Structure 1
């Protein structure tokens, strides 16, 4: 606590002043946390002063709150690129990141416990941002992005948290997620200069090669990079009391149809917390994406069958807690995608569930499971909407990869197992069966005509997106996740 107060005073975060008439100070409190390494050992004890931002008034104490954070797809693309090009990965951490943001509003705060001050009627007039304030993250990102761009870096339009610098053959990329920074590139001297610049402007801690980023364990070898959330998975299993349960080989029973029937849970907070943690686990576990998507539909009123299905997912995680994605160093960095739809798959609304996945070469970088907002009148329509959503993702990935100096001269390959949807996308003809489809779905036709996307038929047996649209049995599920590049580096060979 004393160290934190010393850092706040050295940063001139506040100035003690009498409270003006008509102003009301916001409160503050101390928050304590134990920071641990990926193996569970204690790294340090941490105390942080947090303002009670929930008492702020919009238009008086703050105006804008939104702050961009790096997309996990961008993180995976950066890792796939780094292992393919054999670039080093560096991780930095910003000490007291939010304290660097400048405040434009007039905010007063009650003095924190433990602060030595003269005069009982003095309050803290905040000069700089503080953790807990509504605008804290926005002000920090604004100051950081301004500083980095002044150093010659260009902000990506595809992901505003990505900054790149190209100087001849030298290329450096910087990705920031709140106060955690990833740096990679082909020029170690440029990376060293960037680190020195950031350290001169902010309090930076150099963590060396990236090994544990946002709870994601990064393991690197000559064959490639593997990412997993093993420690996080074991914590979920421990909190759920599943460490002694019998494991299962697939996360959801094949013929299960969850609906809004069954006994309501007395305490729904346990279910909501569990599903919320599983959602974050899907960053490196595409094998549980569909199951978590279905469970998240019942967060408002969870019932006993929903909790039993969630516990089955935990039993599946127990079978291989170290499962994660592998990004091979042998990669051509070409884009190819698979899309699929489970027509009228929702038993309550009869809406279709669509899913897609995108490979960057042999590395899986993007996937999604989504229930459509409207009822599709045919399976062809549902598949066509899935193709359109996948095409949008491919277009965004093209612009992101362009900022990372990966130019795709060849069109992206889109696999679909519905011939009717392929014909609708390829033929610019309107007839009775397509009159009801909204015009925005024909976005894919323009991309095909421009030569950016090429569609290809794939048999249902080889449709990798099946794992994102429906529950599969043991054998097809195991086959699918192997093809997705999901493996466990902790399992014995």
Structure 2
């Protein structure tokens, strides 16, 4: 999804049309709705009991079928002059003189965009000569995500969200204004209803669907991250928090990410952490978000794998995680022929963490740091990253590390660029 959001952001900034194709791969592996049987070829002598037939294509249903299909599609695209991305193998780029074409593949669904409509039509015709394809026109619905044109492009999962509410019988519920209570940890400790759920699969199914919904709803990422920690042994208390999250979604099921058209495509990132958030393991929470221009393209909320002795160390770890994401995004953007202005600004609201990155003399406080955490200093010294201090009130990544009050949550949603096309 990160690559898709980057590509769509670039497309909307350049005014390109985004097209969608659906490839029917049934002709390679038979009818997908029926069992496939291999018949003996003409000339085969049944008396040769010690000989076997060599199958030159993979039958549908076998483990090798999807790999064979992907290899076939990749070979065709390479023959058409595309280059496969090294950072994301589902992305293909074709450049010749002033023509620039981007192509994204997900199994047999294809999104194609570029600066030349004539070349796009030629590629469609060439693909049609190789496969049975269906031209779905301008991109509107892809993998359950609605793509709506407003001032830019709005990515929403409204239908998916409404179906989820209907599945759990909450279509007519009373909505709430925040996805999770700010003191949910204390609530969990004092909760009397701590009995295990009789059917764990219901909770696991709900959280799994919420994880997919978080592809266009960064405002629920922290809540989903918290709920997913208890997939193996959830209690009624956890299930109540999950149902509360559904009540939050009921208030604005059509909300999604707005990819704006801007004057620049510079990267900037916000990193934050919540020290010792987990009351059981005392591990902290990492949260970061990355913007391409004014558009949000990447975000993350995750429990840290190491216990840290201070909030500065936890914040430092979050900055390192954001730096790794920035490095990967810059590699993708270079393949998309986008030059990123360096250094990339990394915003942090912890003064002590910024001091550690800039001053390598703090040996007593940093000598126990792991080796992988020290590479942030190297990136700063080489001019790749620039740390910038901001106030906690202006920290956009604050919503990825903790539950917020309603006013603070609404402010973070506004900064993330969340937009509800269906509210007007």
Q: Is the 8 A contact 1:101 1:143 kept in 2?
A: no
Partner of 2:169: 241
Partner of 1:302: 234
- Runs of 4+ with >3 A deviation: 99-102, 111-117, 122-127, 258-261
CA distance in 2, matches of 1:212, 1:239: 21
Q: Is the 8 A contact 1:101 1:139 kept in 2?
A: no
Deviates more, 1:286-295 or 1:192-201: 192-201
Partner of 1:174: 103
* CA positional deviation for 1:143: 1.4
Partner of 1:18: none
SS at match of 1:275: helix
After TM superposition, the score normalised by the length of structure 2 is: 0.92
Greater RCO (Cα-Cα under 8 Å, separation 6 or more): 2
Q: Is the 8 A contact 2:57 2:68 kept in 1?
A: no
Partner of 1:329: 261
Q: Which residues of structure 2 form unaligned runs of 5+?
A: 41-45, 47-51
SS at match of 1:333: coil
Instruction: Return the match for 1:160 from 82, 85, 89.
Output: 89
SS at match of 1:325: strand
* CA positional deviation for 1:313: 0.4
Q: Is the 8 A contact 2:25 2:69 kept in 1?
A: no
CA distance in 2, matches of 1:129, 1:317: 43
CA distance in 2, matches of 1:275, 1:298: 10
After TM superposition, the score normalised by the length of structure 1 is: 0.79
Q: Is the 8 A contact 2:29 2:60 kept in 1?
A: no
CA distance in 1, matches of 2:322, 2:271: 7
Partner of 1:477: 409
* CA positional deviation for 1:114: 11
Q: How is 1:165-314 mapped onto 2 (pairs within 5 angstroms)?
A: 165-221=94-150, 223-257=151-185, 258=188, 262-314=194-246
Q: Is the 8 A contact 2:254 2:422 kept in 1?
A: yes
Q: How is 1:50-449 mapped onto 2 (pairs within 5 angstroms)?
A: 72-96=1-25, 100=28, 112=35, 127-221=56-150, 223-257=151-185, 258=188, 262-449=194-381
* CA positional deviation for 1:151: 1.4
Q: Which residues of structure 1 form unaligned runs of 5+?
A: 1-71, 103-110
CA distance in 1, matches of 2:158, 2:62: 33
Q: Is the 8 A contact 2:287 2:401 kept in 1?
A: yes
Aligned length: 408
CA distance in 1, matches of 2:53, 2:264: 57
Q: Is the 8 A contact 2:17 2:114 kept in 1?
A: yes
**Larger % of helix: which?**
2
Root-mean-square deviation (Å): 2.3
